Structure 1
Amino acid sequence: MDKLAILIPAYNEAQTIGKVVSDVKAVTNNIPGTSIYVYDNNSSDDTTAIAQEAGAIVRHEYAQGKGAVIRRMFREIDAEVYIMIDADDTYPVEAIPEMYSRVVNRGVDMVVGDRLSSTYFEENKRPFHNVGNSLVRWLINFLFKTDIRDILTGYRAFSFRFVKTFPVLSRGFEIETEMSIHATEKRMLVENQVVSYRDRPEGSESKLDTYGDGFKVLKTVINLYRGYHPFAFYSIFSLIALIVAVLLFVWRVAIPYSNTQMVANLPTLIVSMILLVLSVIAFFSGSILNAIQTNDKRNFELALIHTEDRLKDLNHEQ
């Protein structure tokens, strides 16, 4: 079991991976029990060879996608502290000791490397990425009542209990969004750490699809909100259906009936009744799912206890 595991997912990063591994080694020399893992995701260049030459432990994930790589890393590696950093040399490795210290000394479950509070908007040359980061940050902090300042950053530190209780569902770059919401909803201790950001070196290409990945992130946010807050989610549809049903009934049925003593718009009456029934169904669906979610939270707390016991056993074996 490692004291500190540095996790570097990599896909065609031959230009920068060697420097990243070497820089990480330099700043972690004073942390005994550190291992640097590079997980190659079907690179077609020399990423693997360069990472090995630089001194990293290289492993492979053949299912394409960052989410698949992180799932593999979290399953295979046992460590007291994990720090994940991108292989594109955009993050300062000098922040690693402080991130490590926060997890060890303060019991933080996730340290978020906050780019948006420093140099990101000046360094990043893709304006839609700037807008997207700000939008996602606002949306998640609004919906989930949290204060994570950089939702999409790939620079994070994790505790053992976070890694071993985090169910990886996403396959792509929306995985960072999933991590942020999971930590918030499971009441884990999350701290922001401001880090500088530098854009990719010339010739290094980003793997992000601005629009495609952006829509995936928004879809992930909506799905997670539905899963973690089902009562609030379904209540929105219940309220909309109820309002439309009442307006249709009053405007097209009740008012004409008061004047003529006849139901002149029978189809409208039927539609309003159907909407009323849908409103009731949505309301009680949210209520039932909310009760299930409450039970899931209890089960998760029990799983945390089991995870803490496992960590103690691993330390005892050492």
Structure 2
Amino acid sequence: MTDDVCVLLPTYDEAATVADVVTDFRDHGFENVLVIDGGSSDDTRERARDAGARVEIQSGTGKGQAIREAVREHVTTDYVLMADADGTYRASDAEAMLEPLREGTAEHVIGDRFADMHEDAMSGLNRVGNGIFNGLFSLIHREEYGDILSGYRAFTVDSFERLRLSADGFGIETELAVECARHGVRTTVVPITYLPRPDGSNTNLHPVRDGGIILMAIYRQAKTSNPLFYFGSAGVVSGLAGAIVAAYVAYDWFVNGIPHNVLAIVAGVGIILGVQLLIFGVLSDLLVTLHGETLDRVEALEREVNGATDAAVDGTDSGPEGSDATAPSEGKDRADPPEQ
């Protein structure tokens, strides 16, 4: 059954591959294929329509904005299967991606490209970068998602609406992973096959620029997920810089007799700032922990209240059907005097 699934393909200048991707999904029974286009200058939209896809033009720019707009304005199904239109993902993996959603064991599914990655599918630089980003994510957000930058995902619309997403570009995959971890969205990882881009297909990814965006997205989101790392890492950098400058000032003073008053002040400020940031990180981490525990207790109380309310409603509904419900009227009948 695929009527409850919308295949979402964000595109920008993917004329070389989009028709084959749409056809692949339709051949596997997915009739509802939505292409959300970011203003392509080639024949992407026309080829997608000819292949049988529904095509919408996004109002803004960037992959992240396209996904948010598509899900909130153009998707009417319960599930979304999101993939890139560059021919690197296979429609044959779709059912495995959707299975955890339909079984109710997950709300968000990430396709792990490294489970079966073809040799030429990713450059060595990108492999190293992906490894670093995944390691940082696991360290900061305390979740192991395997491949947070994967573009092949399946999720429920309900879980998507609970996420606070703002990334416009390629940082959207990172933000999805962070928000799932933050909001407790049940997430699982499914092994998939990752193929090299077909000949004639050019990537829209710029490793250095987009890598920097992804790195900043991971670090920025740590402010509320892991404030000890967020403030502590800045404190360590500031403290170490101050300590290095202080060591130089002390050396030049004791060995050469040359004072560096300004540098000494800079070193002191750096060390003090580092200590303050570290303390602030510890306090913030404590507040986040207490906040999480409070939310857990509130949710537990809500479940208890809802359960008690449901039980009371059931008792009220069944009351009149019992034998006691007729007792007052029977007593009244017995108390009435006989007719003369």
| Superposed displacement of residue 233, structure 1 | 2.2
1:125, 1:236 → 2: CA distance?
31
Deviation string for 1:261-314 (max 9, x for gaps)?
xxx998788667645653454245435644368648977998xx9xxxxxxxxx
- Structure 1 residues 236, 19: closer, same or farther in 2, change over 3 A? closer
Contact residue 28 and residue 97 of structure 1 kept, 8 A: no
- Mapped pair 1:87 → 2:85: yes
Q: What is the distance in 2 between the residues matched to 1:47 and 1:265? A: 63
Residues 166-224 of structure 1: per-residue CA shift (max 9 Å, x gap)? 22221111211111122123222221111112111111111111111111111111111
Give 3-state SS (helix, strand or coil) of 2:78's partner. strand
Distance 1:128 1:145 in 2: 25
Q: What letter corresponds to residue 91 of structure 1 in structure 2?
A: Y
- 1:105 equivalenced with 2:106 (yes/no): no
Alignment partner, residue 187 of structure 1: 184
Distance 1:145 1:106 in 2: 23
Comparing both chains, which one has the higher relative contact order based on Cα–Cα distances under 8 Å and sequence gaps of 6 or more? 1
* Cα gap change, 1:61 to 1:294, in 2 (>3 Å): farther
> Do the aligned partners of 1:123 and 1:197 also contact (CA within 8 Å) in 2?
no
Q: Which runs of 5+ in 1 are unaligned?
A: 257-263, 306-318
Question: Contact 1:228 / 1:293 at 8 angstroms: preserved in 2?
Answer: no
Letter in 2 for 1:165: R
In structure 2, do the counterparts of structure 1 residues 98 and 169 end up closer, same or farther at CA, with 3 Å as the change threshold? same
- 1:71 is aligned with what amino acid? R
Q: 2:52 — aligned with what? A: 55
Mark the CA change 1:266 to 1:69 in structure 2 (over 3 Å): closer, same or farther. Answer: closer
Look up the SS of the partner of 2:188 in the other structure. strand
Q: Which of 139, 150, 154 lines up with 1:153 in the alignment?
A: 150
Q: Mark the runs of 5 or more structure 2 residues left unpaired by the alignment.
A: 303-340
Of residues 132-141 and 35-44 in structure 1, the stretch that sits farther from structure 2 once superposed is 132-141
* CA distance in structure 2 between the aligned counterparts of 1:19 and 1:244, rounded to whole angstroms: 54
The whole-number CA distance in structure 2 between the counterparts of 1:152 and 1:244 is 33
Larger CA Rg, structure 1 vs 2: 2
State the SS of the aligned residue for 2:55.
Answer: strand
Measured in 2, the distance between the counterparts of 1:152 and 1:69 equals 17
Question: 1:16 maps to what in 2?
Answer: 17
Q: Give the Cα separation in 2 of the matches to 1:92 and 1:140.
A: 26
The question of whether the paired residues in 1 share the 8 Å contact of 2:120 and 2:196 is answered with yes
Aligned to 2:4: 3
Counterpart position of 1:27? 28
CA contact (8 A) 2:171 2:214 kept: yes
For the 8 Å contact 2:11–2:37, the answer to whether it is kept is yes
**DSSP 3-state at the match of 1:86:** coil
CA distance in 1, matches of 2:81, 2:193: 16
Distance (Å, rounded) in 2 between the aligned partners of 1:119 and 1:8: 21
> Who is 2:334 aligned against?
none
* 2:113 match: 115
Aligned partner of 2:277 in structure 1 is: 282
Matches within 5 A, 1:129-148: 129-148=126-145
Which position in structure 2 is the counterpart of 1:163? 160
**Residues in 2 aligned to 1:16 and 1:232: alpha-carbon distance in whole angstroms:** 42
- Residue identity over aligned pairs, in percent, reads 26
Letter in 2 for 1:130: R
Which range is displaced more, 198-207 or 265-274?
A: 265-274
Matched length: 287
Cα drift, residue 128 of structure 1:
1.5
SS in 2 for 1:201: coil
